[in-house]
Amino acid sequence: MKRAIQLRLFQALLLLAILFGVAEARLAWVQLGFGRSETTHASLERKAVLQRSDSLVLDSGRGHFVDRNGALLTGETVRALAAFPAQGGPHGTDEAIGKLADILETDRGRFQAWLDNLKAADVWREGDGKRAYALTERQAAQIRQLELSGIAILPYRNRYADREALSTLQAIGYVSQHPERIGQIYGEQLRTGLMNKNDLIGGAGLERSLDRLLKGIGPTKAIQLTDASRRPLEGLGIRVMAPDNPHYPVQVKTTLDLRMQRAAANVLNDHGIKEGAVVVLDADNADILAMVSLPAFDPEHIGVAGTDERNHALLAVPPGSVFKTVTLAAALEAGVTNVKEKFFCSGTYGRYGLRCWREHGHGVLTLEQAYAESCNVVFAALAERLDPALLQKTAERMGLGRQVGWSVSRFIDGEPLRLLPEEQPGVIFADLEKAKDGGVRTGSGIGQRDVRITPLQAANMAVTLLHGGTVLAPRLVSEIRYADGGLLASLPPQKAASGQGAISPRTAAFVRRAMEAVVTKGTAADALKDAVWPLAGKSGTAELAGTRSAYNDHWFVGYGPAKGKARYAVAVLLENERVGLRNRAAAVFGDIMEALRRIDSERSPKS
C-alpha cells in the first residue's frame, strides 16, 4: 500500500516536471523570437517595448497611388519635426525653442503652445492640422544644431501628396472612420486584434474599392524608450520599427495623367466654372486620363462647407440634346428613317407643347443637318416613330442606362471588384409602359423627361462610336505592384458589351459624320472655329425641373482629332447655369482639347 502511494506521488511529480519543462521551453522559444504568430505583427519582445515607450506612427502602411507616368498621387514622404512629450514635453532653453519656431517660420507663442499641450508624440503640422510640415534640408540641418531633447527629424508619410490636383479628383477618394462598416468587411481582423473599429478605411473612390488590397500589414512607428516615469532611457534614442515584409505597401498604378488632370481643371477655373465635371478618355482603349469634379473637396476634411466629396463625373443627370445621338442611332437601326430623308421644321411640333429652340424653325433639313442644328422638331418626330423599348435597347447598346466602368466578378482574391462603385447606371425610361405615350417618347428623344446619364458614360459613348459600336469599359487602374516591384495584379482593358448587342459600324460611321457637322456648320461652329485640331461632338442644354427650374445644365461631348486617328474623347458638364445664358460647354471642350493637343505636341514633337 505504501509503495503504491509512493509510486503515484512520483508519477504526479514527474508530470508536473514535464509540464514546467514544456512551459519553460515555450517561453524560451518565444523570447528568442521564433514564436511570432502568423496573424500578428509583433513578438512579445516588441509588445514589451511598446508598453514602456512613446510611439509615433510615421507611415500607416497603406498602399499608395501613382499616375500612369509614376507621379505620386498619394504617399508623399517628407522630413518632419517630431516631438516626444517625455516628462512634460521636449526640453531646451527658451532661446532654443524660439529659434526652432523661427526655423519653422511660425509664431513662437503658437509653437510653444503646441509643445505645452502635447499629450502624445506628434509631428509639427501645417495650418490645417492634417499634413506634416515638410522641412527643407537646410531647416533640418539648423534644427539638428539646436540639440533639443525630445525633438527628432524623421521621415513622415503624408497621405495625400498633391492636394491641389486631388481636390478635383474625387475618383481617388479618401479614408475615414466607418465603425459600422469595418465589422462587416474585416470581422476576422477585429476578432484577432489586428484592427479596431476606429481604424481608417476607404470611404469613397479607389480608396474604398481597393481598400482590402491597400490596407497593408501594419504601420511604421518611431519609438522613444522610457522608464516608468516616461523619462527617456539614456543611450537608446529613438528606434524605428516597421513590418519586415518587403512586399508592402503596394503601389496602384492608375491610368490618370496628372498633367492632363491639371490642364482640364485649369480650363474650368479659367472659365469660372463652379459646378460640373470633365472626363477625358483615351480614344484607343477608354482609359480614364482625367476626371475632374466640382465643387472641389479636401480628402482630409470631408464635409467642409463649399466642398463636395461626391464625384460628379459619376452622377447621372439629364443630358439634353446630347441624347439625340442615341435617338439618331436608334432611328437608323430601326429603319424608321434613312440618311436621305428630309424634314421640315416650322418652330413648333404641333402637340405636347413641344417647340424647337429656334423660334421660327429651321425650314427644310436633312437628317445630318437636323442633328448638326439640334432640331427638336425633327428628333421629337423620330422618337415618336420608335418603339420605346428599342430606344432603350439602343441606349444600352451604346453604354447608357447601365454601369460601364471596369469590373470583374472575381478578382485575384476571389472577390468581385468594381473600380468605380459610385457610378450611377442612369435611366432612359422610368416606366416603359408609360413610354408608349407619345409625349413621353418625344420628351425622352430630345434628352429630357426621365433620361439620366453620367459624364463618364457620355465620354464613353464617343469612344463607342469611334470603335464602330463596340462598347469598352473605362478603366482607372492598370496594375497593382508590391513594394519590391513584383506584380500583384494586372487589370487589362476590357469590353462592356450589352446583352442587347451593339449598333452597326455603318450607323456609328454616320453618327460620327453628323458629329463633325455639328462643329463645321452646326451649333458648335462659332465656339470651335479656331480649333487647331479638327473636332467633332454634340452640345446639349438640359432643362432642370422642380426647385432648379431657373437653371440649366450645359453639355458638350466629343472627340478629336476628327480626321485621322482620334486621340481623346471628352465629356464636359457645366451644372446649374442660369436660364438664358449661352451654352459655354463647347468653348470649354475646345480649350480642353487644345490643352491636350499641346501636351501631346510637347511630348511627341513630330505627332
376-403 pLDDT, tens digit per residue, is: 999 999 999 999 999 999 999 999 999 9
Give CA–CA dist 424/319, Å, rounded: 14
Report residue 74's pLDDT band, with 50, 70 and 90 as the boundaries: very high
Pick from 6-15, 93-102, 449-458, 597-606: least confident: 6-15
Short-list 185, 95, 514, CA closest to 329: 514
Three-state SS for 143? helix
Give CA–CA dist 74/160, Å, rounded: 4
* CA end-to-end span of the chain: 105
Mean pLDDT, range 146-167, rounded to an integer:
87
Q: What angle do CA 446, 447, 451 make, to 5 degrees?
A: 140
Question: What contacts 510, CB < 8 A, 6 or more positions away?
Answer: 328, 332, 339, 368
Q: Find the farthest-apart pair of alpha carbons in the chain and give their distance in angstroms, rounded.
A: 125
Most confident of the ranges 11-25, 93-107, 379-393: 379-393
Burial class (CB in 10 A: 0-12, 13-18, 19+), 392: buried
Model's pTM, two decimal places?
Answer: 0.88
265 vs 36: which has the higher pLDDT: 265
Give CA–CA dist 210/63, Å, rounded: 10
241 vs 479: which has the higher pLDDT: 479
The model's pLDDT over 343-356, given as tens digits with 9 standing for 90+, comes to 999 999 888 888 89
Short-list 163, 168, 162, CA closest to 296: 168
Give the model's pLDDT for residue 230. 53
Question: What contacts 339, CB < 8 A, 6 or more positions away?
Answer: 332, 366, 367, 368, 510
Give the model's pLDDT for residue 199. 83
Asked if 314 contacts 456 with a C-beta cutoff of 8 angstroms, the reply is: yes
Asked if 91 contacts 150 with a C-beta cutoff of 8 angstroms, the reply is: yes
Q: Would strands 64-66 and 251-254 be described as parallel, antiparallel, or unpaired? A: parallel
Distance of CA 273 to the CA centre of its chain: 20
Asked if 423 contacts 403 with a C-beta cutoff of 8 angstroms, the reply is: yes
Three-state SS for 420? coil
Burial class (CB in 10 A: 0-12, 13-18, 19+), 474: buried
Q: How many residues does the chain have?
A: 607
Asked if 96 contacts 102 with a C-beta cutoff of 8 angstroms, the reply is: no
